[in-house]
Chains A and B, each alone.
Chain A
Amino acid sequence: MSRHLLSAGDLSSDEAIAILDAAKQMHAIQTREVKKLPPLRGRTIVNLFFEDSTRTRSSFEIAGKWLSADVINVSAKGSSMSKGESLRDTVLTVAALGVDALVVRHNASGAVQRIAGWVSCPVINAGDGTHEHPTQALLDAYSLRERLGDLTDRHVVIVGDITHSRVARSNVLLLTTLGARVTLVAPPTLLPAGVGAWECATSWDLDAVLTGKAAGDVDAVMMLRVQRERMGGGLPGGARDPGGVFVPTEREYAIGYGLSPARLDLLAEHAPILHPGPMNRGLEISSVAADSARSMVLDQVQAGVAVRMAVLYRMLAGVDAPALAEASA
């Protein structure tokens, strides 16, 4: 695979499937007594997080450690960034320590791409602003394949705040690469400008998608988190998105786009429910849906470690090799 993992769109179908197949074997380690594999022994991975994250950072940390790499967490809060150092200087300082890979999260879209141009080691995007989150898309695809098998011609519906979601963008790119069809559902205010150019369908009406003539072919539903600061009206504390109000009230959003028990009944028996977390119960997803047997929320977290192990293995284990030999010995 290519040197960096910056966008889910960088992955060819073959590369994505190679990662997902490796993840399947990595997944088995979670049930073992000795959770340790040796391929990254002697490698150093730095998790460079300029934005708060618990699940992604710890997931990358566990993945690296289970592959025997040394993993160091650097959070911008404790770094010299808060003393006024530029992003470039901070990154070059960390890279100069002799790291073999950087896992970077930043709240600015495109920051990780910039960083990849400054350093000589592989860079993995762990989420940049509202742009991309390729390993989340990989773990979603992994979870979907666990339930549905091959994703060719499967129909995945993604519901929620598409505008501010790096998860949605990466998922559209990866799922279409894997042959699936994607429909994005959101109120018009939460669909990004230029979404017409994305390789997917869009709708403002969730019920129409779930009950319309294409209803029977919905194979999976992915609910995205809707941040409360994007809502108008009646907010405790009154925190608001500086970009303005996108939805009049929480109630209105829940009625129009929440996965209620009634909408859960509209879904086909085989269709799983995904959510990248953290969930707002009662807002975008009801507890009935979140706790149902179709919910894959916890499977997604588990898959996150396996998928990140697979990414690290495929990017770093053979890094000295002149060419990535796929031939079996």
Chain B
Amino acid sequence: MNGRARTPAETTLGAPDVARIVDRMAHQIIESIAKFGFDAALLGIPTRGVPLAHRLSDRIKVFADVAVPVGSVDVTLYRDDLRLRGVRPLGETVEPEGGITGKTVILVDDVLFSGRTIRAALDALADLGRPRAVQLAVLVDRGHRELPIRADYVGKNLPTSPRESVRVSLAETDGADAVSVTEGADA
């Protein structure tokens, strides 16, 4: 960063960084949802949003002693590039305990980029129920939005070039926590 060329697969954040960031985001979420009596739900977007949502819920339990239900919302069928890029395997949609209607729903994803995934998730949510409010928590915001979407909780702002790709690895899905930036667009 800071103007110098990145070496391939430069690790930007390590496991201790990710843990600190998740803790901070959990605190920020607690501050926000305390106003509504913690009547909230965390909805992870597969694949890596789901373990992140579970981690946030676990840390909120530790810090504030409230149990925020966790679910997942698969957006594959709501994507605007299905025709363009072909069908993909579907992820799992799990309604959080108690549903989402009337609650503050916090969407959780690993990387915020074009915003198209979040747009698809908002459509998917509308078919699942009517939340009181919808918020967005992302571990990394790498910029380059193509839609008017912003995150309410950002773990780390990571300025990137559109040609680079950002890879979030999590212990649950990839064996270890790390965030790395590599040259070359996303596959």
| A interface residues (Cβ-Cβ under 8 A, vs B) | 18, 21-22, 25-26, 28, 32-34, 36-39, 313-314, 317-329
Contact = CB atoms under 8 A, between A and B. Distances in A.
Given A32-B128, A319-B83, A329-B186, A38 B88 contact: no
Nearest to A26: B90
B160 interface: no
Contacts of A28: 93
B89 A328 contact: yes
Interface string B115-146: 00100000100011100000000000000000
29 contacts: A21-B90, A22-B89, A25-B90, A25-B93, A26-B90, A28-B93, A32-B128, A33-B129, A34-B128, A37-B77, A37-B127, A38-B78, A38-B123, A39-B82, A314-B87, A317-B87, A318-B83, A318-B86, A319-B83, A320-B83, A320-B84, A321-B85, A321-B87, A325-B88, A326-B86, A328-B88, A328-B89, A329-B117, A329-B186
Contact of B88 (A26, A34, A326): A326
Interface of B: 47, 74, 77-78, 82-93, 117, 123, 127-129, 186-187
B127 A32 contact: yes
A322 B81 CA distance: 12
Given A25-B91, A317-B82, A329-B186, 17 more contacts: A18-B89, A26-B90, A32-B127, A33-B129, A34-B127, A37-B77, A37-B127, A313-B87, A318-B82, A319-B83, A320-B84, A321-B84, A321-B87, A326-B86, A326-B88, A328-B88, A328-B89
Given A32-B128, A39-B82, A318 B87 contact: yes
Nearest to A67: B77
Given A38-B77, A38-B78, A325 B86 contact: yes
Given A38-B77, A320-B83, A329 B89 contact: no
Given A37-B77, A38-B78, A321-B83, A326 B127 contact: no
Contacts of A328: 47, 88-89
Contacts of A34: 127-128
A327 B74 CA distance: 16
Contacts of B77: 37-39, 313, 317
A316 to B, nearest CB: 9
Contacts of B89: 18, 21-22, 326, 328
A33 B91 CA distance: 20
A286 B90 CA distance: 39
A50 B47 CA distance: 44
Nearest to B95: A32
Contacts of A32: 127-128
A22 B87 CA distance: 11
B116 to A, nearest CB: 10
